């Protein structure tokens, strides 16, 4: 049920983020679509108005555009319609009257319209810019007394709305930038929420597993440990019966297996057992030497040499000494068991800034990267007779003391486990 709820939560967060991003994108696209439609509509409206003025004026000047009266008509049309320019261009592309200052500001933009009007078809120019002004022109053919096209009449007006559109375009670009930042924020927040939900789900699943395991271990611990004690004592009596100097490996095998099973049961009990509240200063250098001495006999049987070293005046850490000793003991035993053909285990306690660092290094084959990602998970083991709880309990103890444990060299030969704990405040 929890996994299903967590999965639904992640899907909800994903689709909520996707919907938010889609809404932002649609909002921006709609803004540009409205802007484009409005600018095209305004330009078309101005073009139609200018073309109508040009057509009407050309009709009034038909057959008489070269007469003196034409100048008065042009002036009146210009003033009545608040035009920026009103001009005539003959079929040789010469302006009339000579010296008129109202020629278009961008004749290269107007040339297609001029040529169209000279061929008898009214035309409009696109909006173009001249200095700080946005301009637009329209052209209509001028006919002589015979009805033939002899010139083109051009009208030019200030497209004032384009300045406003330019400001709107800047506003839209700013909105786009803010929207992009909003999308990035939504994605980051969504990723953070999903990761948090995943961590909560994993923590809940782990807590549930530990609770079930605790109930199971509490129920069977005594039923298992009592027979183990009987088996061990019986094996010891049989060995004594055969003589203290008996070299039969069966006796040692029975005792070793009983001890191993007792250790597995203790590990299971350690999961559900509440942490001790007894804390105080712990000298990790002294603890490292104590663990090395305790493991030395087993290491020697495997052909492994074990040593411990520490800095002088190493600061203490605050914690439960028994729990930290058990955690370091698990690391040391793992290092010994990783070297079936003999080797060396080094335990070093060093100061590193405000932390005290324990390093347990062996000369075994190392830990591949795939195993390294799961080695601290409960019940994960690569050994045939392992319980998969040793490193999990190490991590649990270290994290409970405000520290962290990690494999320093995944994929390399010779594993190096690093425990980092905060030094006690002086």
Question: In CATH, what number is assigned to the domain containing residue 53?
Answer: 3.30.450.20
Pair 397, 324: CB distance under 8 Å: yes
Name the nearest CA neighbour of 308 among 296, 318, 298: 296
Residue 346 is predicted with a pLDDT of: 96
Is 45 exposed, middle or buried (CB count within 10 Å of its CB: 0-12, 13-18, 19+)? exposed
Q: Which domain holds residue 112?
A: 2-165
Say yes or no: 285 and 152 in one domain. Answer: no
Residue 145 in domain: yes
Task: Say which CATH number the domain at 402 has.
Answer: 3.30.565.10
Cβ neighbours for 348, distance < 8 A, ≥ 6 positions apart: 288, 308, 309, 310, 358, 359, 361
Is residue 202 situated within a structural domain? no
**Boundary of a domain, candidates 115, 138, 165:** 165
The residue from 109, 141, 165 where one domain ends is 165
Domain-located, residue 386: yes
**Does some domain include residue 393?**
yes
Number of domains into which the chain is organized:
2
**Pick from 128, 127, 149, 130: nearest CA to 140:** 149
pLDDT on residue 349: 95
In a domain, 11, yes or no: yes
pLDDT of residue 406: 94
Q: Which residues of the chain have pLDDT under 70?
A: 1-10, 12-13, 97-109, 159-165, 209-210, 213-223, 243-251, 260, 263-277, 384-387, 426
Q: What is the pLDDT of residues 135-178, one digit of tens each?
A: 888 999 988 888 888 888 888 887 666 666 677 777 878 888 88
With tokens 């035993």, the residue in question is 333
Residue 179 lies in a domain: no
Domain assignment present for residue 272? The answer is no
Cα separation, 32 vs 82, whole angstroms: 31
Q: Does some domain include residue 224?
A: no
Out of 121, 137, 165, a domain closes at 165
72 half-sphere exposure, CB direction, 13 A CA radius: 4
Residue-wise pLDDT tens digits, 358-404: 999 999 999 898 888 888 887 777 776 666 778 888 998 899 899 99
**What pLDDT is attached to residue 1?**
45
For residues 166 and 138, is the Cβ–Cβ distance under 8 A?
no
In angstroms, the CA 139 to CA 117 distance is: 6
Say what the pTM is: 0.48
């Amino acid at each position: 049920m929890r996994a299903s709820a967590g999965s639904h939560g992640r899907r909800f967060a994903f689709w909520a983020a996707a919907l938010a991003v889609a809404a932002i994108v649609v909002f921006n696209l709609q803004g540009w679509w409205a802007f484009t439609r409005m600018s095209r509509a305004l330009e078309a409206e101005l073009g139609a108005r200018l073309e109508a003025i040009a057509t009407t004026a050309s009709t009034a000047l038909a057959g008489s555009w070269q007469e003196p009266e034409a100048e008065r008509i042009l002036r009146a049309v210009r003033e009545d319609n608040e035009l920026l320019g009103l001009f005539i261009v003959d079929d040789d592309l010469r302006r009339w009257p000579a010296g008129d200052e109202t020629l278009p500001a961008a004749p290269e933009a107007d040339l297609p319209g001029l040529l169209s009007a000279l061929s008898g078809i009214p035309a409009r120019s696109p909006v173009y810019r001249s200095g700080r002004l946005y301009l637009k022109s329209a052209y209509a053919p001028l006919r002589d007394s015979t009805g033939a096209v002899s010139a083109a009449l051009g009208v030019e007006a200030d497209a004032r709305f384009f300045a406003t559109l330019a400001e709107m375009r800047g506003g839209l670009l700013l909105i786009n930038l803010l929207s992009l930042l909003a999308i990035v924020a939504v994605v980051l927040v969504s990723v953070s929420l999903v990761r948090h939900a995943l961590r909560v789900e994993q923590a809940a699943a782990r807590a549930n597993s530990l609770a079930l395991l605790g109930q199971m271990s509490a129920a069977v611990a005594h039923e298992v440990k009592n027979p183990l004690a009987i088996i061990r004592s019986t094996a010891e009596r049989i060995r004594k019966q055969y003589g203290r100097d008996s070299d039969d490996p069966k006796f040692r095998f029975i005792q070793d297996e009983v001890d191993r099973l007792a250790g597995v049961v203790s590990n299971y009990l350690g999961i559900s057992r509440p942490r001790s509240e007894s804390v105080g200063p712990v000298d990790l250098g002294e603890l490292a030497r104590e663990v090395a001495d305790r493991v030395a006999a087993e290491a020697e049987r495997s052909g492994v040499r074990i040593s411990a070293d520490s800095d002088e005046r190493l600061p203490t850490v605050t914690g439960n000494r028994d729990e930290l000793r058990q955690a370091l003991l698990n690391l040391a035993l793992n290092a010994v068991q990783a070297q079936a053909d003999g080797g060396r285990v080094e335990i070093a306690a060093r100061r590193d800034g405000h932390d005290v660092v324990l390093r347990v290094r062996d000369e075994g084959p190392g830990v591949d990267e795939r195993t390294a990602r799961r080695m601290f998970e409960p019940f994960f083991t690569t050994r045939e007779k392992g319980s998969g709880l040793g490193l999990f309990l190490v991590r649990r103890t270290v994290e409970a003391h405000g520290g962290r444990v990690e494999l320093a060299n995944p994929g390399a030969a010779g594993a190096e486990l690093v425990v980092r704990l905060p030094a006690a405040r002086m």
